Amino acid sequence: MTPYDAMLAPFVEFAFMRRALVGAVALSLGAAPIGVFLMLRRMSLTGDAMAHAILPGAAVGFLVAGLSLPAMTLGGLVAGVSVALLTGLVARTTLLKEDAALAAFYLLSLALGVTLVSLKGSNVDLLHVLFGSVLALDDQALTLLAGVSTVTLVALALIYRPLVLECVDPGFLASVSRSGGLAHFVFLGLVVLNLVAGFQALGTLLAVGVMMLPAATARFWAASLGGLFAVAIGTAVAASIAGLLLSYHLGTPTGPTVILAAGVFYLASLVFGRHGGALSRLAPPRRHRAA
C-alpha cells in the first residue's frame, strides 16, 4: 500500500470521509480550547459529567422526532443547561458540595437517557445516541459544528481575561471586578454547547474525549496558555485524522477509534513530554549534567 492509498485516497475518493474530516476539525477547533480551560480550572471531570447530562434531553428529542438533529440538539442543550443550573442551586442551598451534586445528577441523567431511548428505539438507535455517527454527518450537522466552533472562539475571546484571572487568582478577580460570575456561566454554557455539538459526531459517551484528552496532552508540551491552545487543537486534529484513517482501513467503529488515537497521543506524552513527562522527570537536573 502506497502512502497515497493509506492517507489521501480515502478522503479523495469518498465524500463521507471528507465530511467526517471537516466535522472533526470543526469540533477540534472549539472543543480543545474549552478542554484547556476545564483542565486549568480543575474542572476536568465536570466535562465528563456534563456530557452524560445532555443524554436525557437528546433522548426526549429522539422520542418526539426520531433521529432528528434539531430536536436532539435542542433537547440536549436544555438538559445540559438545566443540570448545570440545578447543580449550582443544590450546592448553594444544601450541605452537598458541587462535585457531589454534579455526580448525582450525571448518574441520574445517564440512566434516564438510556431508559428513554430504549423505550422507543432499537439497539442500533441506542448505539447511535451513545457513540455517534461521524461518518454520517450531513450538511445540517456540519453547519452546526462549524457554527458552534465559531461561537465558542468568539465568546472565549470576549471573556478571555476574566477566565484567565479566575484560573490564576479568583480572589483578586472578585475584588476588582464582578465579571467573574458572568464569565463562569458563559463558560459553562460553552461547555454544554460543545458537548451537544460533539454528541452529533461522537455520541454522548465520547464527546468529552476530544475535549479533554488533547488538553491533557498539551500540558506535557507547552508552558504558556497560547502554547496549550495550539498543541491541544493540533492534537485533536491529528487524532481525528488518524482515527478516521485507522477506522477506514481496519473497519473499527470511527468514534471510539478517534478517541483511542487521542489516548495514544496522551500516553506517549506521559512518557516523552517535555514538561513533566516521565523521562524528563527522571533525567538529572540541568545544573548537574556534565558539560
Domains and CATH numbers, the chain: 3-288 (1.10.3470.10)
Q: What is the pLDDT of residue 230?
A: 95
More confident: 262 or 101: 262
Core vs surface per residue 249-270: b (16+ CB within 10 A) or e: eeeebbbbbbbbbbbebbeebe
More confident: 181 or 185: 185
Instruction: Note the Cα 158 to chain centre separation in Å.
Output: 21
Q: What is the mean pLDDT of residues 130-141?
A: 78
Identify whether the C-beta of residue 150 lies closer than 8 Å to the C-beta of residue 159: no
Q: Cα separation of 76 and 195, whole Å?
A: 9
Q: What is the pLDDT of residue 222?
A: 93
Q: What is the pLDDT of residues 212-261, one digit of tens each?
A: 999 999 999 998 999 999 999 999 999 999 999 999 999 888 888 999 99
- Dihedral of the alpha carbons of 154, 156, 162, 165, in degrees to the nearest 10: -140
- Give percent of the chain with pLDDT exceeding 70: 87
Q: What is the pLDDT of residue 291?
A: 45
Q: Cα separation of 9 and 1, whole Å?
A: 11
Q: What is the mean pLDDT of residues 185-208?
A: 81
Q: What is the pLDDT of residues 71-124, one digit of tens each?
A: 878 888 888 888 878 887 887 788 777 778 887 887 888 788 878 877 776 666
Q: Cα separation of 217 and 264, whole Å?
A: 10
Q: What is the pLDDT of residues 139-156, one digit of tens each?
A: 888 898 999 999 999 999
Exposed, middle or buried, 112 (CB in 10 Å: 0-12/13-18/19+)?
A: middle
Q: What is the pLDDT of residue 155?
A: 94
Q: What is the pLDDT of residue 179?
A: 67
Q: What is the pLDDT of residue 285?
A: 64
Q: What is the pLDDT of residues 27-59, one digit of tens each?
A: 999 999 999 999 988 877 777 778 778 888 887
Q: What is the pLDDT of residue 33?
A: 94
pLDDT bin (cut points 50, 70, 90) of residue 205 is low
Q: 287: which DSSP letter?
A: G
Dig out the grid coordinates for 126 from the structure. 441506542
Range picked from 20-24, 137-141, 174-178 for highest mean pLDDT: 20-24
Q: Cα separation of 145 and 139, whole Å?
A: 10
